[in-house]
């Protein structure tokens, strides 16, 4: 009986997403045509919240001190669980929506609208969280630190990709700026009066390269020079490099940071220069909730979408969703929209084309169906919670034993 009801309700959800398709396409294409950079997504915030407001969601803009964030809540019956669907909507400099965040944001809105319309009696609470600045700024990390995810039982978002995958990992990471200070002098007539910030920086690159042989396989340390001096006949006084350091998890990342920073300091010291190290936010590794991912996978299969396994090694970056996964049960599955890889002009084209619109429709359906399962299948929800609680205990236990 319950199964039959679930089947009917999910069919109603799918039909409602299809009925909303034209409206959702218009939003996704408008965001795509007007790319806004991290923390500046004002238009996208308006376009995504408007239909939610109209549908009776309670909309708060600018939560967690981030002006372009939002929280749209449908209280439902007020009982457990509270499910959050995450909307990203920031673009990349120069290449626009080459990560397809126009589709991520719109899919979350579409799923929430369909749930409210198709299942007005749904037990549980549905929240669409507008999480700005994924590409640059770690919006979700700030929102985590402000406690936005504390009272949420399960979180999901869907990212477009060149493969449909539910359990892909991601590395912990941090960015670090190294500012080297030397002393200016005429490079020919009085070099003995100078201290070269550039030599300090070059030595730092060499020292970091010397560490690579002794780093774990999944560690990544990659940097660029952002300031390298002003004139070849002046000993450079100020040079700067920006690096990103990545490791399997935050614990491993600590070790990598210590090694790299020590190498950088000694490189500066060796030529009598000084160095300032400033760090960005720490991105945690991804913590996929397997039980929730299994539910999502079942719904993808019900939609006739083929799921592939992520590569056993490599092929991963970092994202602020990792920090959310440290606070509550979280998934970050991917749905294929073509062959191109993210952050390329071709991916940007796909995110605004028919391929993107199909992915959007599929993502909205799969998320709404999975949220429906979470709210109506007590056993499945308990498994999701228990898996997260067990992970937390193991993590805390691990920390105590050092």
How far apart are CB 98 and Zn ion at their closest, in Å? 7
How far apart are CB 9 and Zn ion at their closest, in Å? 31
Contacts with Zn ion by CB under 5 A: the residue count is 1
Q: Check: CB of residue 39 under 8 Å from CB of residue 68.
A: yes
Q: Please give the residue whose beta carbon sits closest to Zn ion in the complex.
A: 99
Does 44 sit near Zn ion (CB under 5 A)? no
Angle at 165 between CA 164 and CA 171, to 5 degrees: 130
The smaller minimum CB distance to Zn ion, of residues 84 and 157, is found at 157
How far apart are CB 44 and Zn ion at their closest, in Å? 14
Does 173 sit near Zn ion (CB under 5 A)? no
The smaller minimum CB distance to Zn ion, of residues 99 and 363, is found at 99
Does 91 sit near Zn ion (CB under 5 A)? no
From the list 70-78, 99-107, 270-278, 307-315, the region that binds Zn ion by CB under 5 A is 99-107
Nearest to 37 by CA among 75, 94, 80, 82: 94
Does 273 sit near Zn ion (CB under 5 A)? no
Does 99 sit near Zn ion (CB under 5 A)? yes
How far apart are CB 317 and Zn ion at their closest, in Å? 8
Q: What is the DSSP letter of 248?
A: S
From the list 73-81, 95-103, 148-156, 177-185, the region that binds Zn ion by CB under 5 A is 95-103
Does 219 sit near Zn ion (CB under 5 A)? no
From the list 97-105, 146-154, 286-294, 378-386, the region that binds Zn ion by CB under 5 A is 97-105
The smaller minimum CB distance to Zn ion, of residues 99 and 127, is found at 99
| The token pair that represents 213 in the structure block | 């042989």
6 contacts: CB under 8 Å, gap ≥ 6: 372, 373, 376, 377
The smaller minimum CB distance to Zn ion, of residues 296 and 388, is found at 296
The smaller minimum CB distance to Zn ion, of residues 158 and 256, is found at 158
The smaller minimum CB distance to Zn ion, of residues 99 and 281, is found at 99
Distance CA 150, CA 157 (A): 17
Helix residue spans in 229-342 (DSSP H): 250-269, 290-302, 321-324
Does 337 sit near Zn ion (CB under 5 A)? no
How far apart are CB 359 and Zn ion at their closest, in Å? 13
The smaller minimum CB distance to Zn ion, of residues 263 and 321, is found at 321
From the list 68-76, 96-104, 271-279, 352-360, the region that binds Zn ion by CB under 5 A is 96-104
Nearest to 102 by CA among 84, 117, 119, 87: 87
How far apart are CB 92 and Zn ion at their closest, in Å? 7
From the list 98-106, 281-289, 305-313, 326-334, the region that binds Zn ion by CB under 5 A is 98-106
Q: Check: CB of residue 200 under 8 Å from CB of residue 273.
A: yes
Does 31 sit near Zn ion (CB under 5 A)? no
H/E element holding 1?
Answer: none
Identify any residues that bridge with 83 across adjacent strands, giving them in sequence order: 126, 154
Task: For 151-168, give the DSSP string.
Answer: T-SEEE--EEESS-BS--
Nearest to 80 by CA among 306, 289, 343, 381: 381
From the list 92-100, 209-217, 329-337, 382-390, the region that binds Zn ion by CB under 5 A is 92-100
Buried-exposed string 83-111: b where 16+ CB fall within 10 A, e elsewhere:
bbbbbbbbbbeeebbbbbbbbbbbbbbbb
The smaller minimum CB distance to Zn ion, of residues 142 and 268, is found at 142
Q: Are strands 82-87 and 154-156 parallel, antiparallel or unpaired?
A: parallel
- Residue given tokens 């071709």 in the structure block: 346
Instruction: Give the binding site for Zn ion (CB under 5 A).
Output: 99
């Amino acid at each position: 009986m319950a199964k039959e009801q679930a089947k009917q309700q999910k069919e109603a959800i799918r039909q409602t997403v299809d009925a909303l398709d034209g409206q959702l396409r218009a939003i996704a294409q408008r965001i795509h045509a007007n790319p806004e950079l991290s923390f500046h997504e004002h238009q996208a915030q308006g376009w995504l919240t408007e239909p939610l407001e109209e549908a009776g969601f309670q909309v708060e803009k600018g939560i967690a001190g981030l002006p372009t964030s939002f929280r749209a809540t449908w209280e439902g019956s007020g009982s457990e669980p509270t499910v959050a669907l995450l909307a990203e909507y920031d673009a990349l400099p120069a290449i626009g929506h080459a990560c397809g965040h126009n589709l991520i944001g719109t899919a979350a809105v579409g799923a929430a609208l369909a749930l409210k319309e198709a299942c007005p009696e749904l037990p549980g609470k549905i929240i669409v969280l507008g999480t700005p600045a994924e590409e640059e700024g770690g919006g979700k990390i700030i929102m985590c630190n402000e406690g936005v995810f504390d009272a949420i039982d399960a979180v999901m978002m869907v990212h477009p990709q060149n493969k449909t995958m539910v359990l892909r990992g991601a590395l912990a990471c941090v960015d670090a700026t190294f500012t080297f200070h030397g002393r200016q002098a005429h490079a020919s007539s009085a070099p003995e009066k100078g201290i070269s910030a550039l030599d300090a920086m070059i030595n730092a690159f060499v020292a970091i390269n010397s560490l690579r042989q002794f780093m774990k396989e999944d560690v990544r340390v990659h940097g660029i020079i952002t300031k390298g001096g002003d004139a070849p006949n002046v000993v450079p006084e100020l040079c700067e490099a920006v690096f990103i350091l990545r490791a399997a998890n935050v614990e491993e990342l600590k070790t990598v940071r210590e090694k790299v920073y020590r190498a950088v300091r000694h490189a500066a010291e060796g030529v009598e220069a000084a160095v300032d190290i400033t760090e960005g936010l720490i991105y945690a590794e991804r913590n996929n909730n397997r039980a929730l991912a299994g539910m999502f996978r079942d719904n993808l299969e019900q939609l006739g979408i083929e799921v592939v396994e992520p590569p056993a090694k490599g092929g991963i970056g970092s994202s602020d969703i990792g920090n959310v996964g440290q606070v509550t049960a979280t998934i970050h599955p991917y749905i294929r929209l073509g062959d191109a890889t993210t952050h390329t002009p071709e991916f940007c084209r796909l995110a605004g084309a028919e391929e993107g619109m199909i992915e959007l429709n599929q993502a909205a359906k799969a998320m709404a169906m999975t949220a429906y399962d979470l709210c109506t299948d007590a056993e499945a929800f308990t498994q999701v919670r228990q898996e997260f609680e067990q992970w937390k205990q193991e993590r805390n236990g691990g920390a105590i034993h050092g």
